[in-house]
Amino acid sequence: MEKFTRLDGVAAPLMRANVDTDAIIPSREMKQVSKTGLSGGLFANWRYADVATRQEDPGFVLNRPSYRGASILVAGSNFGCGSSREHAVWALHEYGVRCVIAPSFGAIFQGNCVRNGILPVALPEDQVQALAALVEAAPGVRLSIDLEAQTITAPGAAAISFGIADGDREMLLEGLDMIGVTLKRQAQIDVFETGYRQARPWRRLDLSGADAAKLERALPL
């Protein structure tokens, strides 16, 4: 997984509450299980005036020249609610979105973001509204997000601090998925496995023939 340490990018306002995963990528756009080839379906019902021909709606925020290719979304509350489809996060990532700032997130969507290299930042409503107002007033403005310092900085504004779970921060900073995080504890796992086998030698027996007789003598019924 790609590491997330610091991001400096254009922020786009998408201040709609309860944007569900079907709005992020409609089910008809999910024709494969691969993480690639999905960005064209991102926000398809809003992004295109004609979905069939992919004719863009010029009024949709990501189609405006100043916000096109934005890597940061400033969004409304409960972003990513609805179904658990991971395709929504894959589509955002392939498009280039690496951070979503909102008052709250769908729980599964939030976890999927972390596991796919996207930073979900939950801030109080008033701070999100202030950021949205800033990026609407100055289209194309860039925000700087520092995960190590856990701050968001906008031009001419004081840095905003944000919180994140330690485990989520570790995964993003080091570019690790859940398996990678587990394998960081390989030494402890090896110690446990060795002790477990020593304490339960019968777990390694081939329960046939002589080994079966040994087990019967050791564990009489």
Q: Are 13 and 61 in contact (CB under 8 A)?
A: yes
From the list 58, 183, 175, the residue with the least C-alpha distance to 117 is 175
SS (H, E, C) 78-101: CECECCCCCHHHHHHHHHCCCEEE
Rounded Cα–Cα distance for residues 59 and 40 (Å): 17
Question: Taken in order 58, 60, 121, 185, is the CA torsion positive or negative?
Answer: negative
pLDDT in tens, 14-71: 999 999 999 999 999 998 778 889 999 999 999 999 999 999 999 999 999 999 999 9
Q: How far apart are the first and last CA of the chain?
A: 52
From the list 109, 78, 67, 66, the residue with the least C-alpha distance to 91 is 109
Q: Look at residue 11 in the predicted model and tell me its pLDDT.
A: 98
Which strands, in side-by-side order, build the sheet including 160-161? 119-122, 99-102, 72-75, 6-14, 142-146, 151-153, 160-161
pTM of the predicted structure, to 2 decimals: 0.84
Q: What percent of the chain shows pLDDT beyond 70?
A: 91
Rounded Cα–Cα distance for residues 120 and 61 (Å): 20
Q: Is 14 helix (H, G, I), strand (E, B) or coil?
A: strand
Amino acid at 15: M
pLDDT in tens, 116-133: 999 999 999 999 999 999
What are 108's strand-pairing partners?
A: none
Rounded Cα–Cα distance for residues 212 and 64 (Å): 74
User: Is 219 a residue whose pLDDT tops 80?
Assistant: no
Q: Which two tokens stand for residue 127?
A: 């701070």
